[in-house]
Amino acid sequence: MPIEGVLVRLDTGAQAFSDRAGLFRLADLPAGSHTLALLTTDCRVR
């Protein structure tokens, strides 16, 4: 089930919102491992 409007934040500070299909894009990332944080505005656990 796709979730629209989720804030996807990377440890580099890059961020994007998911679209209606649940997709997001973070461009021009440095090589290596990264940590993502997924945040919703409605505070519901999904």
How far from the centroid of its chain's Cα atoms is residue 43's Cα?
15
> Is 14 part of any domain?
yes
> Is 30 part of any domain?
no
Cα–Cα distance, 37 to 35 (Å, whole number): 7
Does the pTM exceed 0.95? no
- Token pair of 16 as six digits: 């994007």
Residues 18-41, mean pLDDT to the nearest whole number = 93
Closest alpha carbon to 18 in 36, 33, 30, 2 = 2
**pLDDT tens across 1-25, in order?**
898 999 999 999 999 999 999 999 9
Q: What is the count of structural domains for the chain? A: 1
Cα–Cα distance, 26 to 30 (Å, whole number): 11
> Would the pLDDT of 38 be above 60?
yes
Q: Domain range holding 11? A: 1-21+38-46
| Residue 26: band (very low, low, confident or very high) from pLDDT cuts 50, 70, 90 | very high
> Is 33 part of any domain?
no
Residues 28-41, mean pLDDT to the nearest whole number = 91
Closest alpha carbon to 12 in 24, 27, 23 = 27
